[in-house]
Structure 1
Amino acid sequence: MSNQSGIKASPALLDAFRAFTIDDDARTLLVKIENESLEPGEVIKAKSSYFDDVALLAPHVSEKEPLYILYRTDSTATGTTAGLTFISYIPDAAPVRHKMLYASTRNTLVRELGGDKITASFFMTDKDEITREGFQKFAEHEKLSQPLTEEERALRSVREVEAKEGFAGTATRKSHVSSGLTFPIGPEVESALAGMNSEDYNVIVLEIDVQKESIELAKKAQIEEPTHLHSMISTDRPRYTFFLFKHAFGQKNHESLVFIYTCPPGSKIKERMLYASCRAAIVAEAEAIAGLKVQKRIEAGDGSEISRDSLLADLHPQQQETKRAFAKPKAPGRRR
C-alpha cells in the first residue's frame, strides 16, 4: 500500500526535507499532519552530541499531540550507518482520531521522504521517553533487535491501537460519548436497528464509509442458521454485524442479540484502525438509539468462524461446562 490514510507530504515538506538533509548544522526536522497533509514544523539546530541534543525537543513535545521527528544521527550512537533517526511519537493521551491518522500515515511519510535515508526508527508513546535516557534505551534496542520493514512497523502500530481501543465485556455499558472514535450514523442504520426485533430480519451488517467518515448499512436479512452469516459478511474488509440469535437451550427459548466484529487478516491498515477504534461506540450507539441490549460481543476473522456451536459456547459457557462435567456415561453395548 503506497498510501494507507490518503494523507501525503506537501511540496513545502519535501522542500524543507531536502534543505534539512544538506544542512549539517540541523539536528531535527519536525513533521505534523495539518489539514489532511504532512507539513514541515520547526528545524532545530544541533548544539552538542546526538544524545545531549535530545533535550532540545522538550519545548516542542506535547503530552496529547502526536508528532513525527526526523533526528540526525551518527553511527556511534545507534550502531548503524550515519543518517536519520525517525521517531513516531503517538502519546497514549492523544485523541483516538489523531492516533489513528499518525499510525496509519507514518509508512507513507517514510516512503515519500526516502526510506534509504532513515537508519533507525523508534515508536514512542510517552513524553518521558523523549529524553537522553529514553533515546539511549531505544538505541540499544535498535542495535539488538532484528530490523522491521516499514510495513511491519505500521502493522505493529495498528495492533497496538487495536489492543488499546478494544472494548470490555458486555457487563459494563459504556457511554457513546466517551467510548472511542465515533462517526455519524446514517438514517438507514438507525431505522434498521430500531426494527431489529421485527420478524422481517435478524441480521444487520454495518460498514464504515471511509470517504464520508460515516457508519452505513451494508446488508440486512433473515437467516435460518448462524453459518449463513458467512455469505453476508465481507471476507476481505472489516465489518460490524448485529445478529438476533433465536435458540433453545436448557429447556428454554432464548433471543440473544450478538455483536460481531470481523476483521480479516488481509484488510487494509487504515480500515483496521477505523473499525477497531469505533467498535465500542457502535454498540453504545445501538443501545442508546434503538434501546437494544447486546448480550455478547464477539471478534472473528470473518463470518466462517461463526456457527451455532460457537455461539452457544459463548452465550452459555458455564452451562456448557456443567453439562459436559455431569454427562451420564454411555451404557456399554450389548454383547451377543
Structure 2
Amino acid sequence: MIFACDSQGKVDQLILPIAQASRSCYILYRLDEKLGDSYLWIFIYYIPDTAPVRDKMLYASTKSTMKQEFGGGLIKEEMFGNVPDDISLHGYKKHLAVKAAPGPLSALEEDIKYVNELEGGRAHISVDSKHETMKSVGFPVVREALEALRDFKNKKVNYVQLLLDITAEEVHLALSESTTVTELPSRIPTDTARYHLFRFDHTYEGDRFDSAIFIYSMPGYKCPIKERMLYSSCKSTLLDVIENEDQGGIEITRKLELDSGEELSEDYLLEEIHPKKNLHRPAFAKPKGPVGKRGPKRMIKKQEGEQ
C-alpha cells in the first residue's frame, strides 16, 4: 500500500491502522531530507507479538534483502516494533531520543561518576586517569565514632576501628576495645576496607612510649572500585578530624597503609616507629688513577760510575 501525508499529525492516522491489523509488514516512510537527488527514508520492521512463528521467521530472513533491493544507502533510520505504539510518531521520537542519549555506563564508570559527584567537580576522574590525585571527600563522623575517639584519647581503649557507610555517606564506628599486638592482625578485615587507630605501648632503648598508630587497610581488588576510591579519598579528611583539637585531638605517631594484617607484628611496628639508623660510615677511599695511562716517559740521567 502507498499513502501520502502532508503533516506529522496525519502520520499515525496512516500507519497505526496497518499495525492494528495484527499483520507483519515492512513500512517505508519518506523524509523531506535528501541525499543528493534522492530522498531519505525510514525503514520500519513491524512484527506483532501475535504473528505466527512462520511469519516472524520469514520477515526476519528477508529483511536484509528488502533493504538491499530498495537501496540501503537511502535508509536513514531503521525501527523495529511489535506493538503499534512502537511505530507511532511518539515511538519514532522516543527512538531518536534513545539513539542520541549517551550509552549505558559500566559499573566502573558508574562508580567514578558517583565519586565525581561527591567531590562536586573539584577533581575530574575518568577511566583513563593515571597520575591524577583525587582530592579529599569529607563524610561526617557520627557521634558514636567521635565518642570512641575520645575514649581512645583518654586511654580507656587502645583500639578503634572505623568504617564508611557509603549509602548514608557517613563515618561509623565498627569496633572499640582494648587489644594486644598479637591480636591486632585478626582485627584487619580481609574483604573490606577499614580505618584503624591502635595505641602501641612499648619500651625502646630503655624509654617508654605509647604511640598512636593510624592504619588504613585496603585488601586490594577484593573491594569494589567505589569503595576503594571513597576510602582513599576520605582518609585525609578523617585524619583532620582525628588530629583536630576540637574533635579528637590525637597525635598520630605513624600512619600505615596495608592490604592485610599478616605483616603486623611487634617487630614490624618497632621498625616503623623507630627505624634503625645506619651508623657505619665507610672510610674514604682514594680514587684510583686511570688504568693504562701513566703519562709520558721521563729521561733519567745516569750518575758517574753507573753502567
Which of 139, 143, 155 is equivalent to 1:187?
143
Structural RMSD (CA)? 3.4
1:1-336 aligned within 5 A: 18-20=98-100, 96=119, 98=121, 103=126, 123=128, 157=129, 164-165=133-134, 180-225=136-181, 227-265=182-220, 266-288=222-244, 289-317=247-275, 320-322=276-278
Change (3 A) 1:30 1:99: farther
Change (3 A) 1:228 1:180: same
Of all paired residues, the percent bearing the same amino acid is 27
Q: What secondary structure sits across from 1:195 in the alignment?
A: helix
- Contact residue 197 and residue 212 of structure 2 kept, 8 A: yes
Q: What secondary structure sits across from 2:174 in the alignment?
A: strand
Consecutive aligned runs of 4 or more in structure 1 exceeding 3 Å deviation: 14-18, 29-33, 94-103, 197-200
Q: Provide the C-alpha distance between the structure 2 equivalents of 1:257 and 1:272, rounded to a whole number of angstroms.
A: 24
Amino acid paired to 2:99: A
Change (3 A) 1:248 1:98: same
- Contact residue 203 and residue 220 of structure 1 kept, 8 A: yes
Q: What whole-Å deviation, never above 9, does each CA across 1:11-70 have from its counterpart, x for those lacking one? A: xxx9667423xxxxxxxx66899xxx98xxxxxxxxxxxxxxxxxxxxxxxxxxx99xxx
Amino acid paired to 1:304: E
Change (3 A) 1:97 1:228: farther
Shift of 1:100: 8.4
- Contact residue 141 and residue 171 of structure 2 kept, 8 A: yes
Amino acid paired to 1:19: K
Q: Which residue of structure 1 lines up, in the alignment, with residue 287 of structure 2?
A: none
Larger Rg: 2
Report which structure shows greater RCO (CA 8 Å, sep ≥6).
Answer: 1
What are structure 2's unaligned runs of at least 5 residues? 1-93, 282-307
- Contact residue 153 and residue 248 of structure 2 kept, 8 A: no
Q: What whole-Å deviation, never above 9, does each CA across 1:110-148 have from its counterpart, x for those lacking one? A: xxxxxxxxxxxxx3xxxxxxxxxxxxxxxxxxxxxxxxx
- Contact residue 197 and residue 215 of structure 2 kept, 8 A: yes
- Contact residue 100 and residue 273 of structure 1 kept, 8 A: no
- Contact residue 244 and residue 256 of structure 1 kept, 8 A: yes
Q: Provide the C-alpha distance between the structure 2 equivalents of 1:160 and 1:97, rounded to a whole number of angstroms.
A: 20
- Contact residue 96 and residue 277 of structure 1 kept, 8 A: no
Taking structure 2 as the reference length, what is the TM-score of the superposition? Answer: 0.51
Q: Provide the C-alpha distance between the structure 2 equivalents of 1:16 and 1:182, rounded to a whole number of angstroms.
A: 41
Shift of 1:310: 1.4
Shift of 1:200: 3.2
- Contact residue 202 and residue 209 of structure 2 kept, 8 A: yes
Number of aligned residues: 179
Amino acid paired to 1:201: V
Q: Provide the C-alpha distance between the structure 1 equivalents of 2:191 and 2:259, rounded to a whole number of angstroms.
A: 9
Q: Provide the C-alpha distance between the structure 1 equivalents of 2:154 and 2:104, rounded to a whole number of angstroms.
A: 49
Taking structure 1 as the reference length, what is the TM-score of the superposition? Answer: 0.47
- Contact residue 97 and residue 181 of structure 1 kept, 8 A: no
Q: Which has the higher helix share?
A: 1
- Contact residue 153 and residue 249 of structure 2 kept, 8 A: no
Q: What whole-Å deviation, never above 9, does each CA across 1:71-127 have from its counterpart, x for those lacking one? A: xxxxxxxxxxxxxxxxxxx8xxx9746578965xx6xxxxxxxxxxxxxxxx3xxxx
Q: What secondary structure sits across from 2:152 in the alignment?
A: coil
- Contact residue 218 and residue 259 of structure 2 kept, 8 A: yes
Shift of 1:240: 0.4
